Amino acid sequence: MKQILFIISRLDCGGINRSLENLLSALPDEKLDISVLAFDTTGQYKDGFKGATMLKPNIWLNYLTRILSRQKGLHKIMSATIKVIDRLTKGRITKLAFKHERDKVAGANYDAVIAFSEGLPTHFLTPLNVRKKIAWIHCDFQSYLCFYIGKEQKEVDTYKGRDDLVCVSNLTKESLEKVTPQ
């Protein structure tokens, strides 16, 4: 039986989680042992996905993801504060939160680890030493890069070194090819 891990940012409602739910329902349960790691464990899908084991992230990663992804009221102030502290410490806060989780994933001996969305899951996957790394892109990649002004090449480089890269549509594939012609 193959062991597969899907990594997502959050469990709230949205196209990526719905897409994952549909994909998991189409995969053969008897051939795959599927796990899902969500960094933020709150939201519509908090009870998990049928046919998958939900892994719990360490409390710091869960908390950081929850705070940094919410941009209203007190969360916006907390998010800005954490980002400033993280920059002042050269990323030590997020590195520590990620390190423990990466060690757990690397030690679990998965046959494939899949970053099922852009951004955080793909960045988490980049330094992992696992058998097979797969990244999924669900969006117009050129538009997505607008969030990384001044860091576009670093974000593009995050997708290098994958065993496979899955684009969910021809538009997504064409957009990615314009940014990364190789």
The domain limits of the chain are 2-179
> How many C-beta atoms lie closer than 10 Å to residue 21's C-beta?
15
Q: What is the pLDDT of residue 75?
A: 62
pTM score = 0.83
Distance, in Å, from the CA atom of 53 to the CA atom of 3, rounded to the nearest integer, reads: 11
Q: Please name which of 161, 178, 168 lies closest in space to residue 116, comparing C-alpha atoms.
A: 168
Return the residue matching tokens 């757990």.
104
Q: What is the pLDDT of residue 110?
A: 94
pLDDT by 10s per residue, the chain, length 182: 999 999 998 888 778 889 999 999 998 878 999 999 998 888 888 888 888 999 988 777 777 776 666 666 666 677 677 777 777 777 777 777 788 888 888 888 899 999 998 888 888 888 888 889 999 988 877 777 776 666 677 777 777 777 888 888 898 888 888 877 65
Q: What is the pLDDT of residue 142?
A: 74
How far apart are the two ends of the chain, measured CA to CA in Å?
34
CA-based torsion, 91, 97, 101, 103: positive or negative: positive
Superfamily of structural domain 2-179: Glycogen Phosphorylase B; (3.40.50.2000)
